[in-house]
Structure 1
């Protein structure tokens, strides 16, 4: 990820509020840990790409797409219920693309993009959006960075022009840089170093991802963040922020024919970069590891258990498991009728919550996650053992046609609202396109889910539960002090 989940302030109080909101969203989207609430959000976002009403060649959004002469891809999702649109700009760069020793630069640049241009005074971008009746936000993940506005249809071209302006004309003084780096440093202190779950999540990612850049926190390591310079930020900006390394998604009360002239008048005036940056990632991970770590902290009120497993994504050599892994996550831990919830919470009473999630829209590998919260008088070790026992049963006994059909039906039920949610539609399409997918992948994903069989689900289960790298974490209260 994620930031929106995963998802800054300038010096003003209003900006501080906006910052906090973006970071709260970022926490849910980033590739950190998945606790109960975050899992539900992640599952919801994942489910939205899964299923639509069953028709031949069913399409999720009936999206249209075109490409400007400068290489910018534009996607339009018409929805004429209300005269409002969601406008999103996605850059194909995230924390995993940062130069070695420069962790945090992608996220810091997200902050700095609100500093201004020759046309927009520093700190006024969001104020202009608000004066036009809209709201804006931004997010950074390991694989992409995005900016968005929800705005009335008749003000759309205004925000398109503003985004096109800062795509190429960012103005950044040394004072601006120092101020915002201090803000991010404080953000790391308050949201990570003073949060036991966040600290343990960082340790998990280090252990799980080893040499892969997914090991680095989106907000950056403290010592590397402190060493970042204005020159670093500008170099990163000029390298990655260009129309031929971006995607614009507009969902709402507009058609492609109406949007194209606006796009040409705004984004079309931005020159293409000389070349499109290649994403140099580590593809060959070390041999699988299985690591367990425990953290005790007096600030922890409720113990928790979770596990992250490296899994195939839509972009790996085993992309055929992408749809089955989503069905597996739903069947195993997608809600109150899932196997984990039924066994751990309803039958055995060892946990008060339990579930699973799968994040498979990534430039590189995906992550399959399991989590549980112990019931009163029970320990994280006990719930972990219970989850292991349920997985062993699944591997030994398999899954039934009825279970798989039920999981697919639940996924279908949770996505029927996607068509009516312009923001959700823009997020789904943007995530896919920024990580190597296509519009067609999203539009016809219902067919992929419909085709999943019990054998496919078991192949997915063996891929993640038999030999894949895993990091297990236990967070518990410290009662020694």
Structure 2
């Protein structure tokens, strides 16, 4: 995601809608003749609509020599068309009282508008225009290339955590596109040319490779008609086949020790290669992994804050996380910051907590507390119309299918202690682990 696209900074404002989310709202699905998918989720609590166009392309689709092109192209999509010159898109949305922006991920690039519900046709007309008629010029590329390089300097090159994160990802994802940063490697971005961007536009910015997600105070049939009106005449093109390298299973434990002269405190990261919604053999596996992450780091009473931070003082901070909404395999992550610089002690404490999950079935009371926390977080997030659209778009573009949104509660409710322990035993194995350590430059490894 970009500094221009300070997406997370917008979320509090975008979530400022009345409470009592309609979590059981139906999703209507349509497909235009040119292959464009349309998903509509009704939410009539406020006269607001969220429109998002998702393209199935992100940094994991890139090879060396073109890393960062998805993100750079996101910038270029705001450079204008013949009908809507540069700057006019944002002016029109602002004039109508709305917000607009975009974001790039590893598996998708998405563009959104938040408007009064009766202004939806304006958003669709503008998005259809730049899907079909974007102007890509050398002057525009020269400007945005420098913007991206400066963004990269601020976020990655000038920060120890950024430098460490890029190196860790390259070690943890040796066989796929998650190895390189979304923003790209500097030499690739610096060498990007107009013909490369034109080719990227021709390949991926295609109605057959796009999903329109609309959520809010709308009628599904009316949205379908508007989508046909604005996007229906854009010709479909063949979508390129994606060739992902086969993973090494199991890849074997890997270890990175990175020393940085600007790092002030050591940091530790343990990442297990695990399945996502899209790659799991069993539909329950990702939900069990979500439960494991919540047991470790679901609030102040979870195991890591309680045992590793407060009770033992081994770590100043510790946590865990897992995101199943990725196209390829995901990562189950634990991290820690030593309280006294003893990285080995923190690593031992984190490994001990993993082993405990494998050796001991979680007690009923703790399982129910984690289950309640997961469901509460999920329902709170669905209180946002914007988040509802985000969930549909991410699930669909990563290959999980938007239907997963409606299955979440039932899947979490059905998990047993045996399911959770079995997932820990199956996936949290040393053969699937990458360990990353960042040390101040004068520290011993």
Q: TM-score, normalised by structure 1?
A: 0.85
Residue of structure 1 in register with 2:404 after alignment: 441
Residue of structure 2 in register with 1:305 after alignment: 268
Q: Residues 467, 60 of structure 1: CA spacing in aligned structure 2 closer, same or farther, 3 A cutoff?
A: farther
Match of 1:472, SS?
A: strand
1:258 to 210, 214, 222: 222
Q: Residues 293, 419 of structure 1: CA spacing in aligned structure 2 closer, same or farther, 3 A cutoff?
A: closer
Aligned partners of 2:203, 2:431: CA distance in 1, in Å? Answer: 35
CA contact (8 A) 2:5 2:103 kept: no
Q: Offset at 1:351?
A: 2.1
Higher mean Cα deviation, 286-295 or 192-201?
286-295
Q: Offset at 1:402?
A: 2.8
Residue of structure 1 in register with 2:354 after alignment: 391
Matched, 1:472 2:435: yes
Residue of structure 2 in register with 1:177 after alignment: 141
Q: What does 1:125-136 align with in structure 2 at a 5 Å threshold?
A: 125-136=89-100
Q: Offset at 1:182?
A: 1.6
Q: Residues 99, 344 of structure 1: CA spacing in aligned structure 2 closer, same or farther, 3 A cutoff?
A: closer
1:294 to 253, 257, 265: 257
Q: Offset at 1:368?
A: 0.6
Q: What does 1:133-212 align with in structure 2 at a 5 Å threshold?
A: 133-212=97-176
Q: What does 1:214-225 align with in structure 2 at a 5 Å threshold?
A: 214-225=178-189
Q: Number of aligned residue pairs: give it.
A: 436
Q: Offset at 1:213?
A: 1.4
Match of 1:244, SS?
A: helix
Aligned partners of 1:479, 1:439: CA distance in 2, in Å? Answer: 49
Residue by residue, what CA displacement relative to the aligned partner does 1:252-308 show, whole Å, maximum 9, x if unpaired?
1112022122111112222212x2332221133265232333334343344332222
CA contact (8 A) 2:358 2:422 kept: no
Q: Offset at 1:478?
A: 4.4
Aligned partners of 1:248, 1:341: CA distance in 2, in Å? Answer: 40
Aligned partners of 2:24, 2:326: CA distance in 1, in Å? Answer: 20
Q: What does 1:269-284 align with in structure 2 at a 5 Å threshold?
A: 269-273=233-237, 275-284=238-247
Matched, 1:315 2:315: no
Aligned partners of 2:312, 2:211: CA distance in 1, in Å? Answer: 48
Aligned partners of 1:427, 1:20: CA distance in 2, in Å? Answer: 15
Q: Residues 206, 419 of structure 1: CA spacing in aligned structure 2 closer, same or farther, 3 A cutoff?
A: closer
1:427 to 390, 393, 400: 390
Q: Offset at 1:84?
A: 1.1
Q: Offset at 1:237?
A: 0.8
CA contact (8 A) 2:68 2:182 kept: yes
Residue of structure 2 in register with 1:48 after alignment: none
Q: Offset at 1:438?
A: 2.0
CA contact (8 A) 2:255 2:435 kept: yes
**Root mean square deviation of aligned Cα:** 2.4
Q: Offset at 1:59?
A: 6.1
Unmatched runs of 5 consecutive residues or more in structure 1: 9-18, 29-40, 46-51
Q: Offset at 1:129?
A: 1.4
Residue of structure 2 in register with 1:237 after alignment: 201
Q: TM-score, normalised by structure 2?
A: 0.92
Q: Offset at 1:389?
A: 1.5
Matched, 1:91 2:60: no
Residue by residue, what CA displacement relative to the aligned partner does 1:73-123 show, whole Å, maximum 9, x if unpaired?
111111112111111110011111124421111111001000001111123
1:414 to 371, 377, 386: 377
Aligned partners of 1:442, 1:388: CA distance in 2, in Å? Answer: 32
Q: What does 1:339-418 align with in structure 2 at a 5 Å threshold?
A: 339-375=303-339, 377-418=340-381
Residue by residue, what CA displacement relative to the aligned partner does 1:158-196 show, whole Å, maximum 9, x if unpaired?
011100110111001111111111211121122111111
2:6 to 13, 21, 24: 21
Match of 1:444, SS?
A: helix
Residue of structure 1 in register with 2:26 after alignment: 62
Aligned partners of 1:319, 1:132: CA distance in 2, in Å? Answer: 46
